[in-house]
Amino acid sequence: MLWKRGDLTPELADLAFTFLPLDLSVADENDVLVYWKGATYKTCDARYIGRDVRDCHPEHSMACLEEILSAFKAGTKDVAEGWEQKGETMKRTRYIALRDRDGAYKGILEVNEDVTGARTLQGDQSLPGW
């Protein structure tokens, strides 16, 4: 279980999600898409919110999605990860099981991140700099 401290107001939570440098989507424990944000979803239509998460994935990815959902719901896995390079850009996609304090499955979080710049890091810069 991840540790957290403090509370966020709905406004601060919305701002944090908006400015988080990741694209995110969330489906609940019934596989209903409830949220997304980011350029990864620029071709997604708002009508997918409130619908089965399978409706917004391409047919060629369906078997993999079903395998991930089954493993998350069964509690045998908590993370699935993949990556894709298109030209100079490298994108990492992670699916993460969302679980409550008792470990019950509550949904799935999809995180898409452009890791192109991270691949070139060398040495140390332990404190953020310009």
Domain chopping of the chain, boundaries:
21-119
Q: Can you give the pLDDT at residue 78?
A: 97
pLDDT in tens, 86-100: 999 999 999 999 999
Q: Can you give the pLDDT at residue 2?
A: 65
- Full-model pTM: 0.88
- With a CB cutoff of 8 Å and minimum separation 6, the contacts of 49 are 33, 34, 35, 36
Q: Above 60 in pLDDT, residue 1?
A: no
Question: What average pLDDT does the segment 52-76 reach?
Answer: 94
- The dotted CATH code for 21-119 is 3.30.450.20
